[in-house]
Amino acid sequence: MANASGLLVIERILRDRQGIWQQVVEDRALNRLTGQMLVSSVVALACYGAVLGSFHSVLMALTSAVKLPLLFLVTLAICLPTLYLFNLVFGARLSVRQSLALVMVALTVTAMLAVAFAPIALFFLITAPDYGFFKLLNVAILALSALVGLRFLTGGMRVLNENGLLAPEKPAVAPATPAEAPATPALTPAATPANGSGGTTTLTAPAPAPAPAPVQAAPVVPPGYMLTPIGHHPRPVRPPKESQPTPPSMTLLYVWILLFGFVGTQLAWTLRPFFGSPGMKFSLYRDIDGNFYAEILRTLADLF
């Protein structure tokens, strides 16, 4: 499973996501992994783009198959430097390869989930060929797929945080000074004989203090248990978890996700059409007027 290549990389991401995160943490063979995810994402988005454009014509299906992967890749190219610089400013120790691989995991999951919804979109295209409904259905599919992909992104950032890659490197701690040697007992001269006869003075150590009476030790209680009377089962007590402060990189990740969404929707409005309005001739691009959100609200008003 670790050597899965090509389109099978999505299976490894879904089955062995911890192995993927560990590979990103270790910065191991990320060029190959990123290339596999790039190929699988482009193929999946091209297939789904063909489904979008098939509402209008074959020519629109071909152009949408090119423009949908282009939409995601250009959005990634615009927003990735911001994510990388955010991490550098707040002390994160991620390389460009690690940042790119992390975002490509989210993009791959989004693309594969979108292409998994393609049969449903084709079903409604055949049975209910309504332009407004078909457009809203596919916008909802892409939004749901993107939310799941972004959840993978936040999960990967949490793993990197647990491994200390989102915080600055801690300075080395100075070695502790050796403990002072215990003081030697003082020596006192021995008493001289009372008759005054000459004798040598000897040095004797003071008598040691009597040892304190032994104190009965308290019973050892395993951590998480309470002393209970006989006949009662001990009830484990969970120690309170230490709250870990949220690093600034995690907070800025959510800001970056909003930025990615705004850039992506505006770029999608610039690259339209993807569906092709019925009754209109084929065109590669449209005039830039209005915005994506106004169009969605207008479609909802026309549908209901």
Closest CA to 133 of 149, 120, 115: 120
pLDDT of 36: 93
pLDDT of 2: 47
Counts for the chain of helices (H) and strands (E), in that order? 9, 2
Rounded Cα distance between 74 and 65, Å, is 15
pLDDT of 252: 81
Rounded Cα distance between 12 and 260, Å, is 25
pLDDT of 91: 73
Coil, helix or strand for 177?
coil
Q: Per residue of the chain (304 residues), give pLDDT as tens.
A: 445 555 578 899 988 988 999 999 998 889 999 999 999 999 999 999 999 999 888 999 999 999 999 999 999 999 999 888 887 887 777 888 999 999 999 999 999 999 999 999 999 999 988 888 998 999 999 999 999 999 999 999 888 888 877 766 665 555 555 555 555 555 545 444 445 445 445 545 555 556 565 555 555 555 555 555 555 455 554 554 444 566 666 778 888 889 998 999 989 888 888 888 777 787 777 777 777 777 778 878 877 7
Contact call for residues 298 and 76 (beta carbons, < 8 A): no
Instruction: Give the other-Cβ count within 10 Å of 6's Cβ.
Output: 11
Q: Name the residue type at position 175.
A: P
Number of residues written out for the chain: 304
Coil, helix or strand for 204?
strand
Helices (H), 6-95: 9-15, 17-26, 30-53, 58-89
CA 47 to chain centre: 28
Q: Which residues contact 17 (CB under 8 A, 6 or more apart)?
A: 152, 155
Our CA angle for 198, 200, 206, nearest 5°, is 130
